[in-house]
A and B are shown apart, each in its own frame.
Chain A
Amino acid sequence: MFIRLEDMCFTYSLGMPFETEVLKNINLEIDKGEFIGLIGHTGCGKTTLIQHFNGLLTPTSGKIYVEGVDLNKKGVNLKLVRQKIGLVFQYPENQLFEETIYQEVAFGPKKLGLSEEKIKKRVKEALKMVDLDYNLYAERSPFSLSGGEMRRVALASILSIRPKMLILDEPTANLDPQGRDNILSEIKKIHYNFGMGVVLVSHNMEKVAETVNRLVVMHRGEIIMDGAPRDIFEKHANELIEVGLGLPQVTECMHKLKEKGKDVYTGVLTVDDAEKEMLKKIKKQIKK
């Protein structure tokens, strides 16, 4: 087990009149190389939860283990943990600060104390992972880029640390549809080509559901569902609508068809799936 959370609770401003309980009894296990979507409403505690994964926040109670190491034991080297778990914050382009993109991406490896040669290799590799041409971009200023490009540079600056797991907080927020699709396909590539585990945090079911292999749904500081997207959409559609998260449009369409009395499988995630499913049903009817 790569990350394990046991009965974890977290309260902001403990002991102050503004005290708020953000996370309640979180139990979660994440395996190496998994592709997870963490879905929940704004303010349900997603961002707070992921900040526990690399020791930025300390739980009020409960335990966190990363590769079997208890993060909150005294003397644990959190730097090592942060090297294993790459956390990309929301709007990561707001953290850029270097003069050139090369230096920006080299920041992490430099802090690891690698040799100049190795750093260069890692920067090339990281920029390639996010589809930016090293020769064209390396010497440009990160502040001269477009929003989507800046975000990719910020992503590369985490990838250059070579984490075993990548955690992305709303990586597609504020991007146009094309930028969003680009980032998502790059994340997919990173997962499938390099075997990196990915946790994708989002408040939006659309797109995320068809990308990931496992969905974890949060509501008011608790995990309410955990499983394969298809199973969740097939069995827990009503609960999802109840907590206000809704379904992807295609899935909703299939549920509506079922309501009208058509016997269709409702766990579809993409338009292609839905098309196949419907053709199957139509063929059956013709045969009859």
Chain B
Amino acid sequence: MRILRNISFGQYIPRDSLIHNLDPRIKILSCLAIIISLFLITKFSGYLILGSFVLISIIISKVHPKFVFRGLRPILFIIIFTLIIHLFMTEGEVIYQIGFLKITQEGLVKGLLISFRLFILILATSLLTLATSPISLTDGIERLLAIFKFTGMPAHEIAMMMTIALRFIPTLLEETEKIMKAQISRGADFESGNIFNRAKNLIPILIPLFVNAFRRADELAIAMEAKCYRGGEGRTHYRELKIKKADILTFVLTIVITIMVSVMF
């Protein structure tokens, strides 16, 4: 049950900082630029520069680093796994040998580079969701997707679905925990048995969870209709997004750094 509590995905930490007050579109695009450049960099020094850029942003955002680094925990396994695969599977100059396992210099370099890449990727995206409220995040996505409207993309509907999905993640987690505890009290066991038994043991959680989720969806739909929700056409916003000076400066800075890093390193 502890696991459920530790999921920080989609969690928003309200603070009053430069990063929090940026336009969500700028934050999303900057994050995208960082991600793209991460895949173009081939040298450590490039990751060092980009990594420190992200770290400085974290400090400016006033979000406790504990929260940001907690996002790393679930993918730590993937990072270590890829590192090990690269260490042993890359051909090249052998620097250490245990039996038939060889660690090569090329493998070490490649493995570390990929670890750094994943590491910075998660840090940057965690910062985006930690420092942007779900509402402004989806607002930003809606406005960005509106560019593709001519292709028939339902930008507002997609954004609305994302808002609702994000909104219900914590609710569903809380409910899962509650149902789990209730079933444990009735004698259910989720911790022992082989994989088939364990899967079967999940039924007492999944069925109530689905029943409640459907009921909730129904209620939400009725509530939205009662408030005269009719979709995106002609809908105005309570908070209008406006690009300010700080937004332009941040965006220019990010673009300059990412282009420089991806071209030079």
By a beta-carbon cutoff of 8 Å, the part of chain A in contact with chain B is 13, 16-17, 51, 54, 56, 79, 82-83, 86-89, 92, 94-97, 107-108, 111-112, 143, 157-158, 161
Contact = CB atoms under 8 A, between A and B. Distances in A.
Contacts of A16: 66
B167 interface: no
Majority DSSP secondary structure for residues of B touching A: helix
Contacts of B183: 95
A158 B188 CA distance: 12
A79 B207 CA distance: 23
Nearest to A163: B185
Given A17-B64, A94-B208, A111 B185 contact: no
A18 to B, nearest CB: 9
Given A95-B183, A97-B211, 16 more contacts: A56-B181, A79-B189, A82-B184, A82-B185, A94-B178, A94-B179, A95-B182, A95-B208, A97-B204, A97-B207, A107-B204, A108-B187, A111-B187, A157-B186, A158-B186, A161-B186
B101 interface: no
B182 A92 contact: yes
B5 interface: yes
Interface string B41-79: 000000000000000000000001011000000000000
B189 A111 contact: yes
A66 to B, nearest CB: 14
A201 B204 CA distance: 25
A79 B190 CA distance: 12
The 9 closest A-B pairs by CB, nearest first: A111-B187, A97-B207, A87-B185, A95-B182, A108-B187, A89-B182, A108-B186, A56-B181, A97-B204
Nearest to B13: A17
**Interface size bucket, B side?**
20 to 34
B112 to A, nearest CB: 30
Nearest to A55: B184
12 contacts: A16-B66, A56-B1, A94-B182, A94-B211, A97-B211, A107-B187, A107-B188, A111-B189, A143-B211, A157-B186, A161-B186, A161-B187
Nearest to A51: B181
A98 to B, nearest CB: 8
Contacts of B188: 107, 111
B256 interface: no
B175 to A, nearest CB: 8
A119 to B, nearest CB: 12
Contacts of A94: 175, 178-179, 182, 208, 211-212
Contact of A112 (B1, B181, B187): B187
